[in-house]
Structure 1
Amino acid sequence: MNFIDLFAGAGGLSEGFIRAGFTPIAHVEMDKAACYSLRTRTAYHYLKANNQYSIYVSYLRGEISREKLYKEIPDEVKSSIINLPVGPEHNETIHKTIKSLLGKQKVDLIIGGPPCQAYSLAGRSRSATKMEGDPRNYLFVEYANYLAFYKPKMFVFENVLGLKSAKRGFYLEQMEKLFLDRGYKMKLFTVEANNFGVLQRRRRVIIIGWKKDLNLEIPNLEEVKHQTKSTVADVLVDLPVLLAGAGIDKYQAYAGDTNQYLINNCIRNGIDVLTQHISRPHNQQDKKIYRIAIKKWKRSGERLNYNDLPDELKTHNNRTSFFDRFKVVADDLPYSQTVVAHIAKDGHYYIHPDIKQIRSLTVREAARLQSFPDDYYFEGVKPSDIKRKLSFNRTAAFKQIGNAVPPLMAYAIAKSIMKIL
């Protein structure tokens, strides 16, 4: 079974489908940094399948460059990452590339979800026009055109919860009519990532579609209730203690043994190489606030209200909303708050729970909360961020992680699709 991934991002959805046994034909993504991450992950899958995994490990250890890694990959594998926006200007080029990769195969599945800003409540609240007239509102039309062009048996469309309410349900209604016009029925599910074993509270819309002439029984994804006794501590406990601004990449050794959660969910997956575990530097004021927030949670299980801070620590003009702008990632709960792309701008909403560290989450910690395996490397456009003296671009990495579909949730959905097909 093969698939095309549209609006692929850094590949979280794709990773789950590959783990379930599907084969990617192509990934289409407009963000250049995300495409480098996809290319690196494609290199990982290719090398592992061809008993050359040691080359990828050498890259994680910093022993070979990104360019050297890519030279180990055939051109047709590299060309499967298509760095173009889906739309009228580039569709012909995208189709030509996919056709050359497909050969005589037919497409079994299309997966992906258009950028969510046009539908998200946060996106609408920040927009002066409430996203009216934004061309991203209608990217589902392009998605439908790809269904008509490739005629897959099924599709999986992921998006934010706001899709259901955007323009009072108008877009969703149009989407369903359009998919039906292209020959596909659909079912919409509102899912919670935590129910799939992800240690994060993350509600999303998953639409499963199928050719209307196929008599398929679609399982109810909303009935999935993964039972786990794990807590957020299980994704943090074996990582080295870091102060603000500390850490190295590549590579570090783990600080402790693995555990069943990390093993069972393919997060810490067999190699003793830890990358991208570098903490942001923070000024003294932020560290004082972090300390207060951590103590408050540890002492009484209460969140910090911004207005309760000492006056000398209050620098934001907005005192009437967003009181929890400084928030601890509680390690004693079975899920964290939702990891979103805003983590690329600051880490105030993602404070590490250890009072000894007084910092926000690292890229690796955020990736683990999203259930990405530790050997998943998040790239920037350039191999390094010279201004911050990093061997990777932290802002680009955080943005990709925040926008991603958790691979563990994608894997569960992929298994159910594989069973149907």
Structure 2
Amino acid sequence: MKQLNYIDLFAGASALSEGFKQLKFNPVAHIEMDTEACLTIKTREAYHHLKEINKLDTYYDYISGNISRDSLYKHIPSEKANSVINAEISDSSLKHIFKTIETNLKQLPNSELDLIVGGPPCQAYSLIGRHGVDWENDHRLKLYVQYGRFLKEFKPKAFVFENVPGIYSANNGSHFTHLKKYFRKLGYEIDDRILNAKDYGVLQNRRRVIIVGWRKDIQFSFPELKPIVHNYTVEDIFSDLSPLTPGQVINKGKYRKEPSDYLKQFDLSNGVDFYTQHISRPHNSNDLKIYKIAIQKWEDENKRLKYTDIPEKLRTQKNTDSFLDRFKVVDGKGISHTVVAHISKDGHYYIHPSINQCRSISVREAARIQSFPDNFFFEGSRTAAFRQIGNAVPPLLSLAIANGIKKLFQKI
């Protein structure tokens, strides 16, 4: 089977790409507007290239802090480096982006684009983000049209479009109706499902809409995805990491015990003897007192703390009628609730389950909840890393989708 070429739109940290890369799909371009996320993509491209040529020691030297980023990037072939396009997808940028993609394609033995993947920013579709949305003029709501312009330009055989379940009910359902009509007008059949990442090995309850489209001249369908049944819990991804205090930073750490069966089965620890970016944010004394109450209530009663349960002297907000679940403990004995980009702003919604580690979860812990392997390195500040993680498609979900897509391509 020939190598399948794809592009990743609104790529973020390239988490949706990760499953496709693992199955040897070839990324012709990743388009992302966030500069720090683009550096993360480029660093991950270095990982995959160095793995392919059996020189991963160079990559591990970099994430260990032994060599500079520039030194790492010198090992990336130009076509890999040029695949990362740091640009906002808009009317003014499309000409430049299209030209770059065409140049990248011409350098390949097979210059056909087979697939487009991507998930436009979803804040406007989410139920939380509905208040004050301008349905006529908010450009985020029209990003599916920009996605479609890539379909029109390159005519790939298929595409994968990811978003939040709120896209179904946005603007009373009319938005999704328009989206489907638009893609069909471009010459694509489409089918969609709500997939929950927890059914594919991710220790997180995370529901996402996956739309798969294919050109009307080919035999394709929504891929068959087989759920993974297991009894793993969050403790299986936290227990081998060193305990942290608020504000503590472990840039490179040694595992304190053997990887759990979960980490081995899903290859999150990668067979190396260290992890990176185990970084906890600092907290003030007031928040720590609330965290302790929240953890104790969860441990003793298996109940979430409501804001009205907090002693008045510890409350900093006057609103006691709505958003009462502002402090939430991650379920160590089960799976996590959904990790979202708000984790970059504060950690109140992601409190570590151990009373002995009264803090919010670290960058590496959040990454593991999202099913990122330990050798996945996030560029930028702690805030940037949390944002990239919260916005990501879990790589294990990406791998399940990529497996299904690849099987369909094999039948064409």
TM-score when scaled to structure 1? 0.93
Aligned to 1:341: 341
SS of the counterpart of 1:177? helix
**Match status 1:416 vs 2:404:** yes
Q: Which deviates more from structure 2 when the two are superposed, residues 227-236 or residues 65-74?
A: 65-74
Q: C-alpha displacement at 1:329, in angstroms? A: 0.4
- Contact 1:124 1:130 (8 Å CA) reproduced: no
Superposition pairs of residues 6-405 of structure 1, within 5 angstroms: 6-103=9-106, 104-125=110-131, 128-130=132-134, 132-219=136-223, 224-249=226-251, 251-333=252-334, 335-380=335-380, 393-405=381-393
SS of the counterpart of 1:338? coil
SS of the counterpart of 1:248? strand
**1:394 is aligned with what amino acid?**
R
Partner Cα distance (1:416, 1:269) in 2:
23
Partner Cα distance (1:362, 1:122) in 2:
24
Partner Cα distance (1:89, 1:247) in 2:
41
In the alignment, structure 1 segments of 5+ residues that lack a partner are 381-392
Partner Cα distance (1:230, 1:130) in 2:
42
Partner Cα distance (2:194, 2:266) in 1:
23
Q: C-alpha displacement at 1:131, in angstroms? A: 5.0
Alpha-carbon spacing, 1:131–1:369, altered in 2? closer, same or farther (3 Å): farther
Q: C-alpha displacement at 1:219, in angstroms? A: 3.6
SS of the counterpart of 1:143? helix
Q: C-alpha displacement at 1:150, in angstroms? A: 0.9
SS of the counterpart of 1:274? strand
- Contact 2:197 2:204 (8 Å CA) reproduced: yes
SS of the counterpart of 1:374? coil
Aligned to 1:386: none
TM-score when scaled to structure 2? 0.95
**1:420 is aligned with what amino acid?**
L
- Contact 2:5 2:115 (8 Å CA) reproduced: yes
Q: C-alpha displacement at 1:315, in angstroms? A: 1.2
Partner Cα distance (1:316, 1:362) in 2:
25
Partner Cα distance (2:15, 2:133) in 1:
31
Q: C-alpha displacement at 1:213, in angstroms? A: 1.7
- Contact 2:223 2:401 (8 Å CA) reproduced: no
Q: C-alpha displacement at 1:130, in angstroms? A: 4.9
Q: C-alpha displacement at 1:220, in angstroms? A: 5.2
Partner Cα distance (1:60, 1:374) in 2:
11
Superposition CA RMSD, Å = 1.2
Q: C-alpha displacement at 1:132, in angstroms? A: 4.4
Deviation readout 1:82-122 (Å, 9 max, x if unpaired) = 00111221111111111111115101110001111221111
**1:229 is aligned with what amino acid?**
N
Partner Cα distance (1:20, 1:78) in 2:
20
Partner Cα distance (1:111, 1:129) in 2:
26
- Runs of 4+ in structure 1 deviating by more than 6 angstroms, as ranges, are none
Partner Cα distance (1:296, 1:245) in 2:
24
Alpha-carbon spacing, 1:322–1:402, altered in 2? closer, same or farther (3 Å): same
Deviation readout 1:271-320 (Å, 9 max, x if unpaired) = 11211101111111111111111111111211111101111111112111
Deviation readout 1:363-415 (Å, 9 max, x if unpaired) = 000000000010111112xxxxxxxxxxxx00001001000000000100110
- Contact 2:162 2:209 (8 Å CA) reproduced: yes
Partner Cα distance (1:293, 1:132) in 2:
42
Q: C-alpha displacement at 1:155, in angstroms? A: 0.4
Q: C-alpha displacement at 1:270, in angstroms? A: 1.0
Deviation readout 1:192-247 (Å, 9 max, x if unpaired) = 111111100111100000111212243455xx432111011111011001111113
- Contact 2:192 2:222 (8 Å CA) reproduced: no
Aligned length: 403
- Contact 1:200 1:337 (8 Å CA) reproduced: yes
Identical amino acids, percent of aligned pairs: 51
Q: C-alpha displacement at 1:253, in angstroms? A: 1.0
**1:109 is aligned with what amino acid?**
L
Partner Cα distance (1:98, 1:219) in 2:
27
Partner Cα distance (2:221, 2:120) in 1:
26
Q: C-alpha displacement at 1:188, in angstroms? A: 1.0
In the alignment, structure 2 segments of 5+ residues that lack a partner are none
